[in-house]
Amino acid sequence: MKRRTFLAAPVALAASPNDTIRLGFIGLGGRAKWLLKNEQFPGAQIVAVADCFLPRCHEAAAIRMDGAKWTKYHDYRSMFDHEKLDAVFVETTPHARALIALHAMQAGLDVYAEKPLTLTVAEGRVLVNAARRYGRVLTT
């Protein structure tokens, strides 16, 4: 399997083949913008984005044709509370990824997070244990 094909694989595991997977993006810096410009998300629909610097949400939405429909959030936790998501892409800075991925799994979401996933081995163990405990897919 090619790396780019694999990008959609974690979220594809979360739903039956007949379902459209509802995606959220958290962190809309350079890597997230690259993904939005260059990747397709077959079987998935981006419905919401979140970034602590709200103008980035609007910049990211301008990248894709359907971006105007996305709900934009300043706080990812509000996105979890208000959206019916299946999975999220965590594209934040490294120091923020572990906590956000943990919160996403606790909210019942599958997670694709950029590398490095965590800053320490201990953080990594917490995420592995959370993925098992909540029955979620976690990949990086």
Taking the C-alpha atoms of residue 81 and residue 71, their distance in angstroms, rounded to an integer, is 13
Closest by CA position to 40, among listed 69, 65, 70, 16:
65
The answer to pTM > 0.75 is yes
* Partners of residue 26 on adjacent β-strands: 50, 90
Confidence of residue 103 (pLDDT cuts 50, 70, 90): very high
114 and 31 in contact (C-beta within 8 Å)? yes
Whole-number pLDDT of residue 1: 43
Confidence category of residue 19, pLDDT binned at 50, 70, 90: confident
- How far apart are the C-alpha atoms of 4 and 6, rounded to whole Å? 5
Helix (H, G, I), strand (E, B) or coil at 105: helix
3-class secondary-structure state, position 22: strand
CB 111 within 8 A of CB 104: yes
pLDDT tens per residue across span 62-75: 999 999 999 999 99
Asked whether residue 16 carries a pLDDT value surpassing 60, the answer given is no
Structure-block tokens of residue 137: 């897919």
